[in-house]
Chain A
């Protein structure tokens, strides 16, 4: 039905009402004529009262709305002009900041926070106690390990302190033996030299006797020579024997020396360096114990948090999954497999959101905008992007609502989502670096106790 038709109908209704009023007033006047004097006065009084009330409420505006909402303030006597334009639709507000924040100053929140603090303190105390237990247990295990290792060392060396001192004496004796052997060798060497010299002398004399053709001398000298050669052979044998004895003594000496130094070091540094839990936590009992304790503390904290918020699991999930997350919430709790299938929307949207982050230029833009809003020119200079490339990247970021742009000044601003995405990227990067460093540290520490 068009507005004109509606208005015409209303007019017709008004005409009918007017006629009704006329008829009513006629019937009223007729009735008034038929009344007695006393009754007439009574009616008069009533009418006067009504008129007074009407006068009183003349300026009053209708409290209850009799028309559309936007016409609340209009005077009810004036009909709406037919040519009045339709009111523009109210602007659609996309931004709902209340979804992201709590009322941090509310009494309710403060009470919750107090409870939470108490519970966290409790949990920390428990944690401290367990940590003390762990440290005591570790200390015990460490001491045990020290004892075991010291025994091992003593067993492997086969020497106690007394034995060590005895060994030292042996070493000294060996040293003296070496000196004597050395001296013997020197003597033998001198003896060999003398025999050599004597043999040379004999040979010269023998040559002279040959030249002089003195046969007696020749025979005598030849005999001497044979004797001398025998002496030389004997001296050489003696020398080699002494040499081998010396070498043996030296070897013994060095062996004793090495053992002594090792034991000396072991006795000096009684605290043995332990790297990694595997070195002393042979059965893995401590690591098991630690993981159990940590798990229980974590569960305690989780339950404390849930009870403190008063909304249980649902409350926490709400915070994590803002927006269109009903499917996610509904399905994950009931059945894991169904949830995985039902989250197609999540996979699609999340991949789009992440792909918008997957470019160093776009990350650079977000990082610059994190500090302050930027005009296009400034941003283009800072990122060294120009024209179409710059627009391509900013469009992608704008599409995913990571950045927004002012309508009048045209500055680019980072949104809440953009800021959180940037933080996420930074967090992943730092986490990776840290893990790598930890891995490097573990590889670097590899000391052999023996």
Chain B
């Protein structure tokens, strides 16, 4: 997949916050942020936007269990981000306006080109699906996948996923923690259990969500 940006920019008229349906994640977008449409050149269709401007994400990845709260609140700010799909619920005409084409777009083209390798790993995602929103940060350190009841985040060396009220999975470099529907915790801390975590991973989360990363194996082996 070859990604390109089209010089038909949009600009946010004011800063705003958007809380996702799952009520785990809140996105805050700043005033005067620029949004450029991102296209798949091979198929010649738009798949999302490139957002240039400080973007904040707050995610509640806490789960109540029989042994107390597990997980944490993740709070981060990104300078640029790729947003999928095209029809983002938080982008309406009230919040953005069209502006004249930019004089220079080389910088943005370069940024998008750098995502190429990452996006290739998730070819099968249907970006036109409204339910799921993917946010890829500029420096590729984290990838967010958010839908109606789940939040999924891949950091540099860890994977954290929350589904509904009582399910959480957390795979870090040297540990694995999972909370099931009943609030029961499975927790391990050696590499042996990481191998086991791969098996448990698919059981805990539903298949479409678990299949986001074709290179899941690579993620685990690289840990």
* Residues of A near any B CB (own CB < 8 A): 61, 69-70, 73-75, 78, 81, 83, 85, 87-88, 90-91, 93-101, 103-106, 108, 372-373, 404, 406-409, 413-420
Can you give 25 contacting A-B residue pairs, CB < 8 Å? Answer: A70-B156, A73-B118, A75-B113, A83-B107, A88-B78, A88-B139, A90-B155, A94-B72, A95-B71, A97-B177, A97-B185, A98-B174, A98-B175, A103-B192, A106-B190, A404-B62, A406-B73, A407-B60, A408-B24, A408-B26, A409-B23, A413-B64, A416-B68, A417-B68, A419-B67
B88 contacts A by Cβ under 8 Å: no
Taking the nearest CB of chain A, how far is it from the CB of B198, in angstroms?
A: 14
CA distance A70 to B118 in the complex (A): 12
Does B155 lie within 8 Å of A91, measured CB to CB?
yes
Contact digits for B112-148, partner A, Cβ 8 Å, 1 yes 0 no: 0110011000000000000000000011110000000
* B69 contacts A by Cβ under 8 Å: yes
Q: Is the CB of B140 within 8 A of A70?
A: yes
Q: Name the residue among A372, A404, A413 with the largest chain B CB count within 10 angstroms.
A: A413
Q: Report Cα–Cα, A73/B141, bound state, in Å.
A: 11
Main secondary structure of the interface of B (DSSP, over half): strand
* Shortest CB distance A410–B (Å): 10
How far apart sit A418 and B196, CA to CA, in the bound complex (Å)?
A: 30
Q: Which residues of the partner chain B approach A105 to less than 8 Å between Cβ atoms?
A: 186, 188, 193, 196
- Residues on B lying within 8 angstroms of A by beta carbon are 19, 23-26, 58-60, 62, 64, 67-80, 107, 110, 113-114, 117-118, 138-141, 155-156, 170, 172, 174-175, 177, 185-190, 192-193, 196
Please, which residues of chain A bring their CB within 8 A of the CB of B117? Answer: 61, 73
User: Can you name the residue of chain A whose Cβ is closest to the Cβ of B25?
Assistant: A408
For residue B23, which residues in chain A have a CB less than 8 angstroms away from its CB?
408-409
- B62 close to A91 (CB less than 8 A): no
Contacts of A75 in B (CB 8 A): 113-114
Contacting residues, chain B, for A99 (C-beta < 8 A): 189
The answer to whether B189 touches A101 (Cβ under 8 A) is yes
Given the interface pairs A96-B175, A103-B190, the reply to whether A91 lies near B107 with Cβ below 8 Å is no
CB closest residue in chain A, given B192: A106
Known contacts A98-B187, A105-B196, A408-B24, A87 near B141 by CB under 8 Å: yes
What residues of B have a CB within 8 angstroms of the CB of A85 in the complex?
79-80, 138
Is A407 touching B141 in the complex (CB atoms < 8 A)?
no
Question: Does A91 lie within 8 Å of B75, measured CB to CB?
Answer: yes
**Chain B residues with CB below 8 A from A373, complex form:** 64
A407 partner, pick from B75, B77, B118, B172, beta carbons under 8 A: B75
* Contact with B69, one of A81, A98, A409, A414 (Cβ below 8 angstroms): A414
Contact A418 B139 (CB under 8 A): no
